[in-house]
Structure 1
Amino acid sequence: MTAGALVSYSSRVTSRRPTRTTETDEPRGASSAPSYARAGVDLDHDEGFVGEIKEIARGSFRPEVLSSIGGFAGLFKTPDRYRDPVLVASTDGVGTKLKLAARLGRYDTIGIDCVAMVVNDLVVQGAEPIVFLDYLAMGELDRGIATEALRGVTEGCRRAGCALLGGETATMPGVYPPGEVELVGFGVGVVEREKVIDGSTIREGDVLLGLSSNGVHSNGFSLVRSILDQAERAGNLDLRAEDPDLNGSVASALLAPTRIYVKPILNLLRDFTLNGMVHVTGGGFGGNVPRILPKGVRARIDTSSWPRPPIFGWLQRR
């Protein structure tokens, strides 16, 4: 079936109200009565945004998206080519990189980060990511920020080959300061049962191959922000200034979106047998590689065998 309208993308305040409530709907003498508008929520503004996001999300659809039935959840048909499919699920968020994005007023890459953190976890199990859902929250709906972030989510889904099947946009006055957002994702992948990769077939003598990062990705930003704060107090920091060592600004280097490894890994799996894979995130090699090693097996990694992205040297010098 062909893809149609996205039916499950909702705004928290618009999906639950039974009737329209605006300032002009209030009866005379009720000017002090509680209302969504006085609480900081513009229902009509939020409702219009939902329709806009449906159009954006449609750009990530796959033929398996079923849109003609239901409206409270997204529907997706398991691809026919799988004989004994196993579903693989993961969830993650962008983390405190969002604080830097808000500081710089740049939200165009965080959606890609959100997708990457989830789909990279899926593909290291041997799974093809097929669907993704996001959760975006802010104090009051800023359509510019939200649209920028969710365009990034859609782009991330395109890069990973999965469909943005739905999501939630939550407006929560008093919870988030202006300009700040929370962005979290949930994804599902599929793999043949006999092709699940869990590291159990790793043996002594196996060769380790690494796929390089393009920067800090979406981990360690509490430390990164601490380094930036120290440099700022010392008076030698301009995040937007061009740095010849970085081939651009510090801001661009730090906000570079997390690399999505799905397509190169799926290509490898078509031609080779991979015994185990690791998505190196928080905790680095030491915190992630041992998670897939069988008892009694250790990994030896030559950290001098690849060039380090320049942003790491920049951070170390400060």
Structure 2
Amino acid sequence: MSITYKDSGVDKEAGYALVNKAKQHAKTTHNDRVLNGIGSFAALYDMQGYQQPVLVSGTDGVGTKLAVAFQQNRYDTVGIDCVAMCVNDILCHGATPLFFLDYIGCGKLDPEQASDLVAGIAEGCRQSGCALVGGETAEMPGFYKDGDYDIAGFAVGVVERDAIVDGSAVKAGDKIIGLASSGLHSNGFSLVRKLFSDLSENIDGQSVGERLLTPTKIYTAAVLATLKAHQVKGMAHITGGGLTENIPRALPAGLCAQIDSKNIPTQPIFQAIAARGVATDEMWNTFNMGVGFVMIVGEEAVKGVIATLSAHGESAFLLGDISADMTENAQQPIVIV
């Protein structure tokens, strides 16, 4: 009696079914620059129209937020998270997202669940204006448990060389503008999962599970519109490490970010986490605390930038300012008051 690949735990037919569904989802994200469809050995993308294009790339995953999706048996939101984590990173250098590729690993492929993951990825691509041009789905029995998935993505964007934003123009006196997050986004979930065992628990009218699976906000449209209308000197995507770790990545040496925490709109999820015994410093070093993205601009641009961001649906507010760092050895050039 012969043995088949399916006998070892790999279902090729399920893989083919997923590819067909993925093609349909991906097609909704394509534009005229995408020169071929899903199924080729590689994606082709037309770069005409740029003068001095610089490609900007980023890769990321969703981490243990996936475990919450498994518990809730909901797979359509974490794909948005995967795209958001990548495109928000490349936005920090002024890049327009162009295309995205995904990776899904699992122990046993369920075409419907995997299709929901890809549908979420496609939704994230539509929100960010980039094309889903390919990906890889790896069914690895014995490596992952049945029912478990891992997901990661890779985004490529473009910026003209003379429009790169790298923080080098930031100076003392500049202002920091915060863009509100939609919640936890995709960081700190290993800690959060230890704090909340009952995902049906109510927090201010919404279950813990619903709050935890709220997708990471994608800031592409608002940020690109702001870059077109105003001078922006530095930007930071507030991910793992919170404001404490990420704002300094956008600052030249010798400068300090002074953050006024009272200006950040309160979100119930962070209050609930703190109430379970997480220290204040740990909160600021782990979570975004209600700020998903930061822009640094000159004082004269503050009102205009906030108006542009607001016009594009973002809750934007003055978060703090930049000062000369007077400490002798500032390991963390940020002060939160």
If the TM-score is normalised by the length of the shorter chain, which range does it land in? Answer: 0.7 to 0.9
- Cα distance in 1 for partners of 2:65, 2:130 equals 24
- C-alpha offsets along residues 271-290 of structure 1, whole Å, 9 cap, x if unaligned? 10000000111011111111
- Cα distance in 1 for partners of 2:219, 2:37 equals 32
Residue in 2 aligned with 1:118?
86
- Cα distance in 1 for partners of 2:39, 2:189 equals 40
Residue in 1 aligned with 2:159?
191
Mark the CA change 1:129 to 1:34 in structure 2 (over 3 Å): closer, same or farther: same
Structure 2 counterpart of 1:147, from 108, 115, 120: 115
- Cα distance in 1 for partners of 2:246, 2:84 equals 17
- Cα distance in 1 for partners of 2:212, 2:36 equals 38
Q: Is the 8 A contact 2:38 2:133 kept in 1?
A: no
Structure 2 counterpart of 1:240, from 167, 186, 200: 200
What is the RMSD computed on CA atoms of the aligned residues? 1.5
Residue in 1 aligned with 2:69?
101
Structure 2 counterpart of 1:59, from 28, 42, 49: 28
- Cα distance in 1 for partners of 2:264, 2:229 equals 24
Q: Does 1:223 align with 2:183?
A: no
- Cα distance in 1 for partners of 2:9, 2:201 equals 37
Which ranges in structure 2 are unaligned for 5 or more consecutive residues? 277-337
Q: Does 1:134 align with 2:102?
A: yes
TM-score, normalized by length of structure 1?
0.84
Structure 2 counterpart of 1:178, from 129, 146, 160: 146
Mark the CA change 1:118 to 1:169 in structure 2 (over 3 Å): closer, same or farther: same
Mark the CA change 1:69 to 1:227 in structure 2 (over 3 Å): closer, same or farther: closer
TM-score, normalized by length of structure 2?
0.79
SS at match of 1:298: strand
- Cα distance in 2 for partners of 1:276, 1:177 equals 42
Supply the AA of the counterpart residue of 1:48: A
- Cα distance in 2 for partners of 1:163, 1:298 equals 38
Q: Does 1:259 align with 2:217?
A: yes
Higher-strand-fraction structure: 2
Q: Does 1:276 align with 2:234?
A: yes
In the alignment of these two chains, the number of paired residues is 276
Residue in 1 aligned with 2:11?
42
Supply the AA of the counterpart residue of 1:203: K
SS at match of 1:208: strand
Residue in 1 aligned with 2:246?
288
- Cα distance in 2 for partners of 1:212, 1:285 equals 12
**Identity %, equivalent residues:** 47
Structure 1 counterpart of 2:133, from 165, 171, 175: 165
- Cα distance in 2 for partners of 1:114, 1:59 equals 18
Mark the CA change 1:116 to 1:208 in structure 2 (over 3 Å): closer, same or farther: same
Larger radius of gyration: 1
Q: Is the 8 A contact 2:23 2:38 kept in 1?
A: no
- Cα distance in 2 for partners of 1:279, 1:129 equals 15
SS at match of 2:40: coil
- Cα distance in 2 for partners of 1:206, 1:251 equals 39
Q: Is the 8 A contact 2:103 2:152 kept in 1?
A: yes
- Cα distance in 2 for partners of 1:207, 1:265 equals 16
Supply the AA of the counterpart residue of 2:208: V
SS at match of 2:178: coil
Residue in 2 aligned with 1:306?
264
Q: CA deviation at 1:144?
A: 1.4
Q: Is the 8 A contact 2:26 2:38 kept in 1?
A: no
Q: CA deviation at 1:175?
A: 1.3
- Cα distance in 1 for partners of 2:37, 2:131 equals 16
